[in-house]
Structures are given as structure tokens and as C-alpha cells.
Amino acid sequence: MTVAYDGRGFSGFAPNAGVETVGGTLAQALERVLGHTVELTCAGRTDAGVHAWGQVVSFDTPGDDLDLAAVQRSINRQCGPRIVVREAAAAPAGFDARRSALSRRYRYTVLNRAVADPFLAATTWHVEAPLDVAAMRLACDPLIGEHDFSAFCRLPKVRTGHPAPSLVRRVLDARWLDLGDGLLRFDIEARSFCHQMVRSVVGTLVAMGAGRKRPGEMRGIVASGDRARADQLAPAHGLCLWAVVYDTDGSVEG
């Protein structure tokens, strides 16, 4: 299923006892429709407050005669408009929403105006200070390619007796678009992302646009692996999991 949701009020995607999550809410609705326990796999485990337009989830259910349109309508009645299923389809054999994905695309939106807009407040980061978009674009180039993104990621917990997980990621594209009227959009695509990576990258790029850092510092920040060299985390509500890319046998795009 391709799922969109407003991340406000949810404690992220992953089911977690005692708190409301997107995955937990969606699984409960599915179980009511299907009549059996459902184990969801998602393409990207979004954090608390992060939105999605093209999240992809997969699950197993018996029977070849399942009325997917009816399932979709039922889920949307139960969960909408906070969570909606945009598309439901039978997946190819062996399909896994996470492991079958070739890349993920995230989108971050900044409202760069002197005065905030209440109708955009839920999905944009309002930055009052003027931003140099050309500088932010210039700083994107060092992000592209395969790098250790430790400088931009929350360090994962290391289990005793196990090596630390790798924070090496391959970024396929990163760019800023000026949409006019103060709306700026950052699009980034990678094979996968580590925890808080996009928000940290955006916070650092905005610092460069505001003149607190120079675009030429980006390459050194990436190479340093030092989280203290990057800037503040951009707020979660400006971030959206926009699309997930699969191969031609299981193609899904938002």
C-alpha cells in the first residue's frame, strides 16, 4: 500500500506500546478489516512529527480474492484524514517494502518570509531571516555520492559485543528549488538514510543560506564525521517522505 499521513500527533511510524504511532494505528485498522494479526513492513521509519506522501508498506494476508478497493475504503474511513491509503495492490512474490526499495526521496519545505503563514505552518519551517538560495545550492554538491554521514546522524546504540552500525550512505541527488513567494523546497534521494540525517543536513544548509556558515565548509563537515560541526536539526514538521522507488517488477512512486 502507498500511504500518506500527517505526522503531527504521532510518535513516529514504528508501532510502540503506550503511544500512538502511524504504523500501530494502520495495523490496528487493517486487523479489524482482515480479521487477523498484521505485521507491517515500511519503506522508511519516519520520526515523530514527520509527514509522508509516498510511504510504502507491505504485509502478508491469505486469499487471492481479497477486495483491495474495499480494504482501502475501510482503512480510509477509519484513519482518514490523518492517514490515508492512496493505493492498494497485490505485490509481486517476495516483495518487501523496505528491502525491495532502490531509493527513498524526501522533501523538506522552508517558508522564507518575514511573516509566517498559518495555512502552511503545519508542513513548513518558517525562517524569517533572508536566505541565499545560491549558497545553499552550492553546498549540496559535496553531499552527493557515497560518504560517511556521521556528522549528520544521530549515533545508533551499539549492542555489547557487536560492531557499530555503518553510517555510510549513498546520496543520489540533492537540490533546492525556489518555488516563488518565499517557498523553498529541498529534495534529496538516497539508497537509505540514517536517523535524523535529512533534518540535520537541512539545518546546516539553512545556516549556510543565512550566512552563519560558508558553503565551502560542507565538504569538510562531511569528511569530519563530527556531529558538532553540523548545525541545528531542522524541525520535523517540514519533512515529508515523498516517494519510494522500486524496480520495474514492483515499481511504486509517490
139-168 pLDDT tens trace = 999 999 999 999 999 877 766 666 778 999
- Give Cα separations from 210 to 21, 204, 231 (angstroms): 35, 10, 12
Q: Is 2-100 a CATH 3.20.20.140 domain?
A: no
Give 44's contacts (C-beta < 8 A, 6+ positions apart).
13, 52, 55, 98, 104, 193, 241, 244
Q: Which residues are catalytic?
A: 47
Q: What's the grid cell of residue 146?
A: 557515497
Each residue's pLDDT tens digit, 172-187: 999 999 999 999 999 9
pLDDT in tens, 59-80: 999 877 889 999 999 999 999 9
Domain range annotation of the chain = 2-100, 103-244
Q: Which residue has the cell 522533501?
A: 107
Q: Are strands 239-245 and 125-126 parallel, antiparallel or unpaired?
A: unpaired
Q: What is the pLDDT of residues 75-130, one digit of tens each?
A: 999 999 999 999 999 999 899 999 999 999 999 999 999 999 999 999 999 999 99
Which class would CATH give 103-244? alpha beta
Confirm whether 2-100 and 103-244 share one CATH topology: yes
- Examine the pLDDT at 250 and tell me if it is beyond 50: no
CA-to-CA distance for 158 and 152, rounded, in angstroms?
18
Long-range CB pairs of 229-233, under 8 A, 24+ apart, other chains included = 229/151, 230/151, 230/152, 230/200, 230/201, 230/203, 230/204, 231/200, 231/203, 231/204, 231/206, 231/207, 232/203, 232/207, 233/196, 233/199, 233/200, 233/203
Q: What distance in Å separates the CA atoms of residue 222 and residue 116, rounded to the nearest whole number?
A: 32
